[in-house]
């Protein structure tokens, strides 16, 4: 009787070891035989599955997708299993590079201390870092009639640099864009800027005193003039170095001139503009030293002048080191802005 055999409980197609065709199909699917010969499982010491269990397995998962012959499913790699690890590596490398940038200044300070302690140079001429640190703490904690306080001088100098840099940087950026985008702008602006960048700032001090007096205005104008030149030169060069084929491609896609400037030219010139921004900040700090020679009664330049008048080199070194620290901090801010604005760019050492 068929009911007494195991195959009598199964559909006819499965009893013969074949899979039934799907319902509603217009064409018959080829019958797939289920092998009952010992395979890899039999070679591992296990008996092959009987005909009934093979048929039951096929009937329990009729819609399971079959992998085509000769094509294996790819196993998830390390990027699929741990995407956060790959994203975390660049951030870790950036943190390590930040710490590495502190090593060289620390080495210079240690060498400076050793040279001063060894007596190779008189401590009157080159006070050791320990003496400079003690002087800095004294200037911070006490208000001296000759020097004032260090934090007060820093705030005055930062205000002058901020106003002068904003004015000069904005002027340099606008003039660089105007000169870079047109021949008329280049012929009108570039000769004047090339003339101004050769003028020594110290030579302009007596002229600015006659024109603007000895107040805050000539100091800010000197800083603005010094900060505008590097940003102008780099903006002009960055715009002119943008590949002309990119602009032609944008015009062929229907971009208007304003859209081409905003989406193609300025992003292409952005790396060099940021280089000019870093240079402008450095020149702004140098121009501050010159500007505070104009009858200043507060600021880091004023402290340097007072230290020179009283023959106190440790006070002079305190002001110079504050210049260095502030310059390093402002440069770090620009580098952070550069990493955010140029996240799409990968340099030679970013791998």
What's the whole-model pTM score?
0.65
CA separation for the pair 213, 164 (Å, rounded): 17
User: CA distances (Å), 166 to each of 76, 84, 199, 301, 325, in order?
Assistant: 52, 39, 21, 20, 20
Residue 144 pairs with which residues in a beta bridge?
Answer: 148
Q: Is residue 189 part of a domain?
A: yes
Q: Is residue 124 one of the residues assigned to a domain? A: no
Residue pair 138/328 in contact by the 8 Å Cβ criterion = no
pLDDT-based confidence at 95, cuts 50/70/90?
Answer: low
Residues 175 and 62 in one domain: no
Across residues 24-30, what is the average pLDDT? Answer: 42
Identify whether 120 is part of a domain.
Answer: no
Does residue 88 have a pLDDT over 70? no
Output the six-digit token pair for 30: 């080829």
Residue 97 pLDDT: 65
Residue 119 lies in a domain: no
Last residue of a domain, one of 32, 55, 90: 90
CB atoms within 10 A of CB 317: 21
Same domain, 250 and 315: yes
Residues 6+ apart with CB under 8 A from 37: 48
Identify the pLDDT of residue 148. Answer: 84
Domain end position, chosen among 90, 125, 157? 90
Q: Does the pLDDT of residue 309 top 50, yes or no?
A: yes
Tokens of 283: 């020149």
Instruction: Specify whether 162 is located in the same domain as 40.
Output: no
123 within a domain of the structure (yes/no): no
Note whether residue 262 is domain-resident.
yes
- pLDDT tens digits for range 101-139: 778 888 888 888 888 888 788 877 888 888 899 999 999
pLDDT at 177 over 90: yes
- Examine the domain organization and report whether 156 and 45 are in the same domain: no
- Alpha-carbon distance of 150 to 280, in angstroms, equals 25
Shared domain check, 210 and 64: no
pLDDT at 306 over 80: yes
Residue 345: φ, ψ to 5°: -95, 135
> How many domains does the structure of the chain reveal?
2
CA distance 119 to 83: 57
Average of pLDDT values for 135-145? 87
pLDDT band at 35 (very low <50, low <70, confident <90, very high): very low
Average pLDDT of the residues of the chain: 74
Higher pLDDT, 49 or 332: 332
pLDDT number for residue 223: 92
Residues 331, 184, single domain; the answer is yes
- Boundary residue ending a domain (59, 90, 121): 90
Same domain, 63 and 159: no
Q: What is the pLDDT of residues 221-274, one digit of tens each?
A: 999 999 999 999 999 999 998 888 887 888 788 788 888 888 888 888 888 999
What's 332's domain CATH number?
A: 1.10.3720.10
Claim to verify: residue 196 and residue 337 sit in the same structural domain: yes
For residue 112, tell me if it sits in a domain.
no
**Would residue 260 count as lying in a domain?**
yes
Domain that holds residue 329: 133-350
- Residues 137, 80, single domain; the answer is no
Whether 67 has a pLDDT exceeding 70, the answer reads no
Same structural domain, 149 and 79: no
Tell whether 175 and 256 lie within a shared domain. yes
Answer yes or no: do 78 and 172 share one domain: no
| pLDDT score of 10 | 43
Instruction: Look at residue 170 in the predicted model and tell me its pLDDT.
Output: 94
- Please compute the mean of the pLDDT values over residues 31-36 and round it to a whole number: 41
What is the three-state SS of 258-313? Answer: HHHHHHHHHHHHHHHHHHHHHHHHHHHHHHHHHHCCCCCCCCHHHHHHHHHHCCCH
Among candidates 275, 282, 288, 285, which has minimal Cα distance to 236?
Answer: 275
């Amino acid at each position: 009787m068929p009911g007494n055999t195991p195959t009598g409980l199964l559909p006819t197609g499965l009893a013969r070891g074949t899979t039934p065709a799907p319902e509603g199909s217009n064409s018959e699917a080829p019958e797939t035989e289920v092998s009952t010969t010992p395979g890899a499982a039999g070679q591992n010491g296990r008996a092959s599955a009987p005909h009934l269990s093979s048929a039951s397995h096929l009937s329990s998962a009729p819609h399971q997708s079959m992998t085509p012959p000769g094509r294996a499913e790819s196993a998830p790699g390390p990027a699929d299993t741990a995407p956060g690890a790959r994203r975390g590596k660049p951030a870790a490398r950036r943190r390590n590079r930040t710490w590495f940038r502190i090593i060289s200044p620390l080495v210079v300070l240690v060498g400076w201390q050793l040279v001063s302690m060894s007596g190779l140079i008189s401590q009157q001429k080159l006070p050791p870092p320990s003496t400079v640190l003690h002087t800095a703490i004294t200037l911070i904690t006490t208000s001296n009639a000759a020097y004032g306080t260090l934090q007060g001088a820093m705030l005055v100098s930062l205000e002058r640099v901020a106003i002068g840099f904003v004015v000069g940087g904005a002027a340099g950026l606008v003039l660089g864009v105007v000169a870079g985008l047109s021949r008329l702008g280049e012929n009108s602006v570039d000769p004047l800027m090339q003339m101004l960048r050769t003028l020594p700032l110290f030579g302009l001090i007596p002229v600015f005193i006659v024109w603007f007096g000895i107040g805050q205005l000539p100091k800010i104008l000197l800083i603005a003039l010094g900060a505008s030149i590097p940003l102008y030169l780099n903006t002009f060069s960055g715009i002119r170095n943008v590949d002309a084929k990119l602009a032609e491609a944008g015009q062929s896609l229907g971009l208007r001139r304003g859209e081409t400037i905003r989406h193609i030219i300025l992003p292409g010139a952005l790396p060099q503009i940021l280089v000019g921004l870093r240079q402008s900040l450095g020149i702004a700090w140098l121009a501050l030293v010159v500007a505070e020679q104009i009858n200043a009664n507060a600021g880091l330049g004023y402290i340097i002048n007072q230290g020179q008048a009283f023959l106190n080199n440790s006070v002079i070194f305190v002001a110079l080191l504050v210049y260095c620290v502030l310059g390093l901090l402002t440069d770090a801010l620009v580098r952070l802005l550069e990493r955010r604005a140029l996240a799409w760019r990968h340099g030679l050492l970013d791998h």
